[in-house]
Amino acid sequence: MLTTKTRRSLGLALMFGAFTLPAWAQTVKVEDPWVQATVAGQKATAAFMKLTADAPVKLTGGKTPVAPVVEIHEMVMEGEVMKMRAIDGGLPLEAGKTMELKPGGYHVMLIDLPKAVEVGQRVPLTLIFTDTEGKEFTVEVEAPVRPLKRDHGKKSGHEM
């Protein structure tokens, strides 16, 4: 239980916090990023990761030295038909809620690869986010490359 006094000071602190918020850089925590390996001649691949933002923001794009084009995509199954679409306007992240980009859902698509992305490589990735005021900020990560053949494990056999 909070006493009235502490509650009031808490309220003041929050108000103060709200005033100082613009000066406070927003961050997005990026965990377990990985990029799927490709073979020579394969022109695209995807990056997967877990994102947790401290404020409502959108993942709107990215940059990487391994590919000239980066898009945010969503995979959906309509019955047995697989559809992949670029997400217009970015992928919204709720404050404090972890959004997992994984097979069967969202991914960062790396397009027009000039050469293969191989296991052992670490792919530098600049993620571009847009806050509620339309201001962009970036987060840099290095994503290790995982083999094309995924470990299906013993239990479900499906990574979805």
CA distances from 39 to 77, 103, 148 (A): 26, 19, 9
127 touching another protein, by CB under 8 A: no
What character string, x for contact with another protein (CB under 8 A) and - otherwise, covers 80-119? xxxxxxx----------------xx--x-x-xx-------
- CA of residue 51 relative to chain centroid, distance: 5
Question: Is 87 exposed, middle or buried (CB count within 10 Å of its CB: 0-12, 13-18, 19+)?
Answer: middle
Q: Which stretch binds another protein (CB under 8 A): 21-29, 35-43, 92-100, 129-137?
A: 35-43
Establish how many alpha carbons lie within 13 A of residue 97's alpha carbon, considering only the half-sphere containing its beta carbon.
Answer: 8
Give 46 or 57: the residue with its C-beta nearer to another protein: 46
Q: How far apart are the first and last CA of the chain?
A: 42
* Closest distance of CB 70 from another protein, Å: 10
* Site residues for another protein per CB under 8 A: 36-37, 39-46, 69, 71, 73, 75, 77, 80-86, 103-104, 107, 109, 111-112, 147-152, 156-160
